[in-house]
Amino acid sequence: MTTCKEEANRWVHRYAAGGAAFAALPIPFSTSVGLVALETHLLSMIGEIYGDGVGAFGATTAGGAFSAMGQGLKYAACQAACFIPVLGIPIRMSIAGATIEALGQSVIAHYERKHPGREFVKKPPE
């Protein structure tokens, strides 16, 4: 039987890889918006895995926090890319992937404190 933690970790790794790939796109200003949407969806996905809904207010609040954090990280990535222009895209990809991975792990840790060792039960399609 799979635990919720194992299932959530699988999704976190997928979202981190997707976020890193998205950060590689040469879109000047909308990359942060896409990453915020990805992070917010990850938050709700982990909540569903553990059987807790995040709710509209929680998702909106998290989206605002992720947006603010994303702007700061994007600034750091741009500054780092200025010093090493050839590695700009890999730096952005690394920051995006690591940020999503860290965020996912912290959300999993939160739910593990609430529901330690819970078994994952796949919901049937509706």
Alpha-carbon distance of 33 to 47, in angstroms, equals 21
Instruction: Parse the chain into domains and list their residue ranges.
Output: 4-113
Q: What is the pLDDT of residues 78-100, one digit of tens each?
A: 666 666 667 777 877 888 888 88
Rg (alpha carbons) of the chain, rounded to whole number? 16
CB 91 within 8 A of CB 81: yes
- Mean pLDDT within 12-22: 93
Q: What is the pLDDT of residues 46-85, one digit of tens each?
A: 888 988 877 655 655 666 666 666 666 666 666 666 666 6
